[in-house]
Amino acid sequence: MSRWVLVIGLVLVGLAVVLFWALRPGGPRARTPAGVAGELPTPTPAAPQRVMLLFPAADGALHPELRDVPLPEEIHERVRTVVTQLLEGPRRGLHPVAPYPARLLDVFVDGRGNAFVDLSGPPVPLQGSFEELALAYGIVDSVLLNCQELKGVQLLFDGREVPTLTGHLDLSKPLRLNKSLIAAR
Amino acid sequence: MGSTPTASTMSFFMRKLLFVLTVTAALMAVSTPAPAQGSSVSFSYAGQVASVPRFASRIEVLPVLRLLGAEAGFSPAAGTYVIQLDDHQIQIAPGSRFVLTDGQLEKAEEAPVSSPGGLAASAAFIERVVLSPLGFHLERLGMGYRIVAGARVAPVVDVRPAVADFGATTTLVLTLGRPVKATVAEEGGGVKIDFADARPQIDRSLPMRSRRVLGLRPEGQRLTIVLARGMGLLSSHELTSPDRIIVEVGRRRVPPTPAPMVAAARPSRPTIVIDPGHGGSDTGAVGGNGLQEKDVTLAVARRLAAVLQADGYLVRLTRNGDETRALTDRTALANRLQAVAFISLHANASSFKSAKGAETYYMSLHDATDEHAAETARKENAAGAPRHGGSALDLILWDMAQARVLNQSSRLALDVQRRLDTLLNLPDRGVKQAPFVVLTGATMPAALVEVGFLSNPAEARQLENPAYQQHLAEALARGIEGFLRSES
């Protein structure tokens, strides 16, 4: 008798715990059921493709580094992939595009072919046009070369538009592909 | 059996435990919030009521928009929902706080999420980010909401105007009581400034006397600048500390055809404007030896001015001391003086200690072209009836003139770079293009020269040396004069 009571008691405790967990706000029943709507923006499983990433060198030019990475079809996911790869840094003797450990905070693509890339801002002000150009066009040119349906990229820092980083480059609007900064082969 | 009392105690204990657990389970089941899915909230608009599903603590957005008659579709390529109602368009990406409202990128306080209905957000987000730009707001109605036409009345922002007439232009400075986002555009015979979430209130304690700015007319969230006949918006920009909107007005844009380069009004001796980069609180780059970019640029600029003056040119510096100057004011000075060339001097810095040499930049065509003006021209052409005669043609001519000036700028940059490389035996870092703020809007050949790297210890020592500064100045002067001779 007492064994049955114990079993029933444990089952009830288990049920109560499961019920509480399942129905709490943010619990699994409150989340999006997998595949509930075909139009939900879930990244397409991507096959590895060759991307060209541009990193600065002492000659002031941006030099390409090729990498095979899974590249999603969705444009905003592709931008995210390219920038993430870029911020991981170069794998050979080039320099990072950002002279500080920049993080990618967000990516937004508008309907006019412009991507907005939000980065964590520099902890101390950058100096000189060299660093501003390397950071801006390392990202802008890498994104535009790998996402050719885009026409411009605007950099945001900590969620804000900035007029300029070091008092040189106009960052208040999307930048276009700038081939003059890419090293000639 | 000796175990009987223990079994009896156990049985009693277990029955008590079972009772407690049953009651606890029942209480937990009753006290758990109702399942988020399946519950709904009512929205009413113009006599229609829609039961809008909730999604956890959020509300499905798309049914609210359907109630208003707005179109909303998902762009899988961009990953955004595009919402369209009348002339308004809003783009929202699930999971992102960025929202593009009528072409303006804004960051919301929260991010909407993907949901079974497509997109879900809080009621506050729906009101502030979605309904307000479309011209609606929410009012609580029982357990739901009523959508009411008309955005919420925005709070007041004090605007203190100051105006100054110059030779051909007038500068209007609007000092704001607090930071407010605003867009400036030309409309009809005036300039309109639309404030985001603020109603301008003009401080009229200062007298405003101007030949070109006739008055300021606040109306809701818009401030209209009334201009004299024939005047138009030349440029606008924003400054902070304090927050200001600077508007420059003058005669409507006419293409800077070659005529200004040989205008009769120009002084007999051509004027060259030299811009020593940075200044005042903006030190620019700082070398390992403590040498500041603002000091190097001023020293070289003064020497360059002396060389050019000795060769018969009129020269103006954008600053002749340790002063702060807005970047746009520097080009504006060159435009006002109808200078034949504008050179902005800088010194570079890099985390590569080995980086050295000079490089010269000029604007690229698509960065120099006024996209907003081009967009206006496209709209007017599409409408078939320009609002003011010939503006589309003016813009085409303006673009052509810009292309011509940029061609000249590329030759100026090349001449200067070659002289620096050969006279100083510097490593050639080449001529490049980039949208530098200080070159934007220049109506004459313009270039930005980085004379060397303060981060390179050897080069920093040279840049500090007066003799080397003189060599630099002479090389720059030979480059500028070579360009001007080839143009004459």
Verify that A82 and A173 share a domain, yes or no. Answer: yes
Verify that A26 and A63 share a domain, yes or no. Answer: no
Q: How far is CA B177 from CA B155, B184, B240, B245, in A?
A: 12, 18, 11, 11
In-domain check, residue B27:
no
For position B189, which CATH number holds? 2.60.40.3500
List the structure tokens of A41.
């923006």
| Nearest CB to B21 within list A12, A159, A173 | A12
- What sign does the CA torsion over B309, B314, B315, B321 have? positive
Contacts of A175 in chain B (CB under 8 A): 367, 435
Mean pLDDT of B231-254: 78
Average pLDDT, chain B: 81
Give the contacts of B370 (CB within 8 A, at least 6 positions apart).
B395, B398
Which of A132, A170, A171 is the mutation pick for testing B, counting most B CBs within 10 A? A170
Dist. CA B61–CA B74, nearest whole Å: 13
For position B386, which CATH number holds? 3.40.630.40
Domain boundary among B222, B251, B280: B251
Verify that B288 and B415 share a domain, yes or no. Answer: yes
Looking at residue B20, its pLDDT comes to 56
Q: Is residue B207's pLDDT more than 80?
A: no
Model confidence pLDDT, tens digit, residues B402-438 = 677 888 999 999 999 999 988 777 777 889 999 998 9
**Sheet with B113-115: strands ordered across:** B113-115, B118-121, B58-60, B48-55, B40-45, B144-149, B136-141
Looking at residue B154, its pLDDT comes to 74
Question: What range does the domain containing B438 cover?
Answer: 259-487
List the structure tokens of B373.
């003006």
Contact B433 A180 (CB under 8 A): yes
Give the contacts of B467 (CB within 8 A, at least 6 positions apart).
none
> How would you class B467 by CB atoms within 10 Å of its CB: exposed for 0-12, middle for 13-18, buried for 19 or more?
exposed
In-domain check, residue A101:
yes
Looking at residue B389, its pLDDT comes to 39
**Between residues A2 and B429, which one has the greater pLDDT?**
B429
Looking at residue B15, its pLDDT comes to 65
Q: What is the distance between the terminal CA atoms of chain A, rounded to a whole angstrom?
A: 86
Verify that A9 and A81 share a domain, yes or no. Answer: no
Verify that B185 and B87 share a domain, yes or no. Answer: no
Beta bridge partner(s), residue B139: B146
Q: Is residue B135's pLDDT more than 90?
A: no
Contacts of A5 in chain B (CB under 8 A): 11, 14-15, 17-18
Say how many domains are in chain B.
Answer: 3
- DSSP conformation class of B184: E
Dist. CA B33–CA A22, nearest whole Å: 11
Verify that B355 and B447 share a domain, yes or no. Answer: yes
Mean pLDDT of B174-201: 84
Domain boundary among B217, B251, B285: B251
Contact B98 A37 (CB under 8 A): no
Give the contacts of B425 (CB within 8 A, at least 6 positions apart).
none
Verify that B344 and B416 share a domain, yes or no. Answer: yes
Q: Is residue B86's pLDDT more than 50?
A: yes
- What sign does the CA torsion over B384, B390, B395, B396 have? positive
Is residue A18 within 8 angstroms of chain B, CB to CB?
no
Looking at residue B234, its pLDDT comes to 82
In-domain check, residue B9:
no
Looking at residue B429, its pLDDT comes to 83
Min Cα–Cα distance to chain A from B101, Å: 10
* Percent of chain B at pLDDT exceeding 70: 80
In-domain check, residue A38:
no
In-domain check, residue B297:
yes
Is residue A113 within 8 angstroms of chain B, CB to CB?
no
Q: What is the distance between the terminal CA atoms of chain B, rounded to a whole angstrom?
A: 124
Model confidence pLDDT, tens digit, residues A62-110 = 999 999 999 898 999 999 999 999 999 999 889 999 999 999 999 999 9
Query: Phi and psi for B110 in degrees, rounded to 5?
Result: -145, 165
Give the chain B residue whose CA is nearest to the CA of A13.
Answer: B21
Verify that A75 and A2 share a domain, yes or no. Answer: no
Looking at residue A44, its pLDDT comes to 60
Q: Which of residues 73-92 of A touch B (CB under 8 A)?
A: 74-77
Looking at residue B36, its pLDDT comes to 38
Q: Is residue B119's pLDDT more than 90?
A: yes
Contacts of B97 in chain A (CB under 8 A): 106, 159
SS3 B238: strand
User: Parallel, antiparallel, or unpaired: how do β-strands A114-119 and B213-219 relate?
Assistant: unpaired
Give the chain B residue whose CA is nearest to the CA of A57.
Answer: B352
* Percent of chain B at pLDDT exceeding 90: 37
Model confidence pLDDT, tens digit, residues A12-53 = 777 766 656 555 544 444 333 333 333 445 556 677 899 999
Verify that B214 and B360 share a domain, yes or no. Answer: no
Give the contacts of B388 (CB within 8 A, at least 6 positions apart).
B252
In-domain check, residue B6:
no
Q: Is residue B243's pLDDT more than 50?
A: yes
Min Cα–Cα distance to chain B from A76, Å: 6
Query: Mean pLDDT lowest for which of B3-17, B94-108, B280-294?
Result: B3-17
**Between residues B412 and B268, which one has the greater pLDDT?**
B412
Give the contacts of A132 (CB within 8 A, at least 6 positions apart).
A126, A164, A165, A166, A168, A169
Min Cα–Cα distance to chain A from B190, Å: 25
Q: Is residue B446's pLDDT more than 50?
A: yes
Dist. CA B299–CA B363, nearest whole Å: 25
Query: Mean pLDDT lowest for which of A3-12, B3-12, B53-62, B279-288?
Result: B3-12
Verify that B92 and B163 share a domain, yes or no. Answer: no
Give the chain A residue whose CA is nearest to the CA of B362.
Answer: A180
Confirm if A178 and B364 have CB atoms less than 8 A apart: yes
The 3 state secondary structure assigned to chain A is CHHHHHHHHHHHHHHHHHHHHHHCCCCHHHCCCCCCCCCCCCCCCCCEEEEEEEEECCCCCEEEEEEEEECCCCHHHHHHHHHHHHHCCCCCCCCCCCCCCCCEEEEEECCCCEEEEEECCCCCCCCHHHHHHHHHHHHHHHHHHHCCCCCEEEEEECCEECCCCCCCECCCCCECCCHHHECCC
Predicted confidence band at B353 (pLDDT cuts at 50, 70, 90)? confident
What one-letter code names the amino acid at A19? Answer: L
Contacts of A110 in chain B (CB under 8 A): 78, 80, 91, 100, 105
| Nearest CB to A169 within list B97, B436, B455 | B436
Min Cα–Cα distance to chain A from B61, Å: 14
Mean pLDDT of B21-30: 46
Verify that A16 and A98 share a domain, yes or no. Answer: no
Model confidence pLDDT, tens digit, residues B374-402 = 454 444 344 433 333 345 555 555 566 66
Verify that A53 and A124 share a domain, yes or no. Answer: yes
> How would you class B34 by CB atoms within 10 Å of its CB: exposed for 0-12, middle for 13-18, buried for 19 or more?
exposed
Domain boundary among B124, B149, B174: B149
Dist. CA B120–CA B399, nearest whole Å: 45
Query: Mean pLDDT lowest for which of A90-94, A157-161, B73-77?
Result: B73-77
Dist. CA B94–CA A35, nearest whole Å: 16
Contacts of A99 in chain B (CB under 8 A): 351
Count CB-CB contacts under 10 A for residue A81. 23
List the structure tokens of A82.
């390219």
In-domain check, residue A40:
no
List the structure tokens of A37.
């709507």
Is residue A14 within 8 angstroms of chain B, CB to CB?
no
Verify that B295 and B365 share a domain, yes or no. Answer: yes
In-domain check, residue B81:
yes
Q: How far is CA B331 from CA B111, B237, B291, B440, B447, in A?
A: 40, 13, 26, 7, 11
> How would you class B100 by CB atoms within 10 Å of its CB: exposed for 0-12, middle for 13-18, buried for 19 or more?
buried
Contacts of B278 in chain A (CB under 8 A): 167
In-domain check, residue B32:
no
Contact B367 A12 (CB under 8 A): no
Counting one residue from chain A and one from chain B, the pairs whose CB atoms sit within 8 A come to: 214
In-domain check, residue A137:
yes
> How would you class B473 by CB atoms within 10 Å of its CB: exposed for 0-12, middle for 13-18, buried for 19 or more?
buried
Contact B367 A167 (CB under 8 A): no
Verify that A55 and A17 share a domain, yes or no. Answer: no
Predicted confidence band at B247 (pLDDT cuts at 50, 70, 90)? confident
Contact A167 B107 (CB under 8 A): no
Contacts of B56 in chain A (CB under 8 A): 25-26, 30-31
Verify that A29 and A52 share a domain, yes or no. Answer: no
In-domain check, residue B29:
no
Looking at residue B34, its pLDDT comes to 34
Verify that B126 and B274 share a domain, yes or no. Answer: no
**Between residues B14 and B481, which one has the greater pLDDT?**
B481
Closest CA to B116 of A38, A162, A26, A176: A38
Verify that B382 and B447 share a domain, yes or no. Answer: yes
ipTM of the assembly? Answer: 0.73
Verify that B211 and B330 share a domain, yes or no. Answer: no
> Following DSSP, what letter does each residue of B446-464 receive, concatenated?
EEEEEEEETTSHHHHHHHH
Give the chain A residue whose CA is nearest to the CA of B56.
Answer: A30
Min Cα–Cα distance to chain B from A23, Å: 6
Verify that A78 and A153 share a domain, yes or no. Answer: yes
Question: What range does the domain containing A149 cover?
Answer: 48-181
Model confidence pLDDT, tens digit, residues A117-141 = 999 999 988 888 999 999 999 999 9
Contact B94 A58 (CB under 8 A): no
Looking at residue B239, its pLDDT comes to 73
Say how many domains are in chain A.
Answer: 2
Q: Is residue B351's pLDDT more than 70?
A: yes
Contact B114 A40 (CB under 8 A): yes
Contact A110 B105 (CB under 8 A): yes
Contact A131 B79 (CB under 8 A): no
In-domain check, residue A62:
yes
Count CB-CB contacts under 10 A for residue A77. 20
Verify that A3 and A69 share a domain, yes or no. Answer: no
Looking at residue A19, its pLDDT comes to 59
Q: Is residue B335's pLDDT more than 90?
A: no
Verify that B349 and B471 share a domain, yes or no. Answer: yes
Min Cα–Cα distance to chain A from B450, Å: 8
Dist. CA B260–CA B334, nearest whole Å: 13
Contact A29 B37 (CB under 8 A): yes
Query: Mean pLDDT lowest for which of A67-76, B50-59, B177-186, B199-208?
Result: B199-208
Q: Is residue B258's pLDDT more than 60?
A: no
Is residue A16 within 8 angstroms of chain B, CB to CB?
yes
**Between residues A185 and B42, which one has the greater pLDDT?**
B42
Mean pLDDT of B309-326: 93
Give the chain A residue whose CA is nearest to the CA of B239.
Answer: A163
In-domain check, residue B17:
no
Confirm if B399 and B378 have CB atoms less than 8 A apart: no
Looking at residue B398, its pLDDT comes to 58
Verify that A73 and A144 share a domain, yes or no. Answer: yes
pTM for the model stands at 0.61
What length is written for chain A?
Answer: 185
Verify that B118 and B145 share a domain, yes or no. Answer: yes
Looking at residue B414, its pLDDT comes to 94
Q: Which of residues 125-184 of A touch B (CB under 8 A)?
A: 127-131, 133, 137, 149, 154, 156, 159-161, 163-164, 166-170, 173, 175-176, 178, 180-181
Min Cα–Cα distance to chain B from A142, Å: 16
Min Cα–Cα distance to chain A from B159, Å: 22
- What sign does the CA torsion over B21, B25, B27, B31 have? positive
Is residue A57 within 8 angstroms of chain B, CB to CB?
yes
Verify that A173 and A88 share a domain, yes or no. Answer: yes
